[in-house]
Structure 1
Amino acid sequence: MDERQVDAILQNPKFKEMVAKKSKLSWTLTAIMLFVYVGFMLLVGYNKEFLLSKVSEGGVTTWGIPLGLSIIVLSFLLCGVYSYIANNSLDQLTEEAMKEVEEIAHEKGLH
């Protein structure tokens, strides 16, 4: 792939749309994870009594365990959400942009 093709791809409206959507998605999922993680850390720092309290009377599991595990599960779920959206939406935009660039290059005899 030469510089003209790279420039054509970077200037393609569908490629720009894909980059914008990908960026928005990435920042949204990052913000969700950051909010949850910082919230958990604030809970650890300022409300240890709650995290040390038992889930059920007479039980041994404290609230810290399921909350900590749920953060780990959430990170996997957010990765799955990103992968699903990227595979079903963003990849399609990339393919469309590549086809358009290849068609233009073919028409101009650059390919």
Structure 2
Amino acid sequence: MAQEIWERIRANPKFQKLVSKRNNYSIVMSILMIIAYYGYILLVAFDKSFLATKMGSGMVMSIGIPMGVGVILFTIILTWIYVRRANTEFDADAEEIIKEATK
């Protein structure tokens, strides 16, 4: 019985569309994260002088600190965006597909 339901789900064009949409979205989000993380790491490795630049005259903090915090905040925001879409759009689509398969 469960195998039959799974086969109906896999054959459903809505399921294939959901998988494609979710995979494309995940790839875009992953690329954004890779750019943020590796971009910062590459700056640390190859342009230390830029990261060591002081924020302004008489300031103690270098530009690298807020950039590092920015990477962390970017991660949190990107995760929130992904979870929000997954919990609304993707879950609703999956629920509809399962209902159709169990009829």
State the TM bucket, normalised to the shorter chain.
Answer: over 0.9
The count of residues paired between Structure 1 and Structure 2 equals: 103
What are the ranges of 5 or more consecutive residues in structure 2 without an aligned counterpart?
A: none
* Number of the residue aligned with 2:102: 102
Please report the TM-score for the alignment, with normalisation by the length of structure 1.
0.86
* Number of the residue aligned with 2:91: 91
**CA–CA separation in structure 2 for the residues paired with 1:10 and 1:89:** 19
List 4+ stretches of structure 1 deviating above 3 A: none
* Number of the residue aligned with 1:53: 53
What are the ranges of 5 or more consecutive residues in structure 1 without an aligned counterpart?
A: 104-111
Instruction: Please state if 1:78 is matched with 2:87.
Output: no
**CA–CA separation in structure 2 for the residues paired with 1:42 and 1:33:** 14
* Number of the residue aligned with 1:4: 4
Cα deviation for residue 8 of structure 1 reads: 1.0
**CA–CA separation in structure 2 for the residues paired with 1:2 and 1:29:** 33
Please report the TM-score for the alignment, with normalisation by the length of structure 2.
0.93
* Number of the residue aligned with 1:31: 31
* Number of the residue aligned with 2:64: 64
Cα deviation for residue 30 of structure 1 reads: 0.4
Whether the aligned pair in 2 keeps the contact of 1:54 and 1:63 (CA below 8 Å) is: yes
Aligned sequence identity (%): 34
**CA–CA separation in structure 1 for the residues paired with 2:8 and 2:26:** 25
- Whichever of the two has the greater Rg, that structure is 1
